[in-house]
């Protein structure tokens, strides 16, 4: 029996559009453009968006580690 929608591809497919939309947000209108001056507000917004993904990556890594540890435990019991 397997858990539904727990593969790495499924997780990536859910995260990738959000990451792309934030990059687009940073480069749009009055946000960070290619070249030119960058304001403190723009840098703070960039820092906020990066920190969101740092937290997401940390949680994702912890989940994958726990999954791996569980699989090792099951494999040890089988052998």
Q: Of 1, 55, 18, 2, which is closest to residue 63 (Cα–Cα)? A: 55
Q: Does the pTM exceed 0.95? A: no
The answer to whether residue 57 sits within a structural domain is yes
d(CA 50, CA 59): 14
The answer to whether residue 76 sits within a structural domain is yes
5-54 pLDDT, tens digit each? 666 777 777 777 776 776 676 666 555 666 667 778 877 877 887 787 78
The answer to whether residue 66 sits within a structural domain is yes
Residue span of the structural domain in which 61 resides: 40-79
The answer to whether residue 75 sits within a structural domain is yes
The answer to whether residue 58 sits within a structural domain is yes
Confidence (pLDDT) at 41: 81
Task: State the burial class of residue 65 (Cβ atoms within 10 Å of its Cβ: 0-12, 13-18, 19+).
Answer: exposed
Question: Please, which pLDDT band fits residue 63 given cuts at 50, 70 and 90?
Answer: confident
The answer to whether residue 33 sits within a structural domain is no
The answer to whether residue 48 sits within a structural domain is yes
How many independent structural domains does the chain possess?
1
Q: Among 1-5, 24-28, 64-68, where is mean pLDDT lowest?
A: 1-5
The answer to whether residue 44 sits within a structural domain is yes
């Amino acid at each position: 029996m397997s858990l539904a929608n727990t593969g790495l591809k499924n997780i990536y497919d859910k995260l990738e559009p959000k990451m792309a939309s934030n990059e687009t947000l940073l480069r749009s209108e009055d946000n960070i453009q290619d070249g030119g001056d960058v304001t403190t507000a723009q840098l703070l917004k960039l820092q906020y968006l990066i920190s969101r993904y740092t937290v997401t990556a940390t949680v994702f890594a912890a989940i994958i580690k726990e999954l791996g540890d569980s699989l090792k435990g099951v494999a040890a019991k089988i052998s």
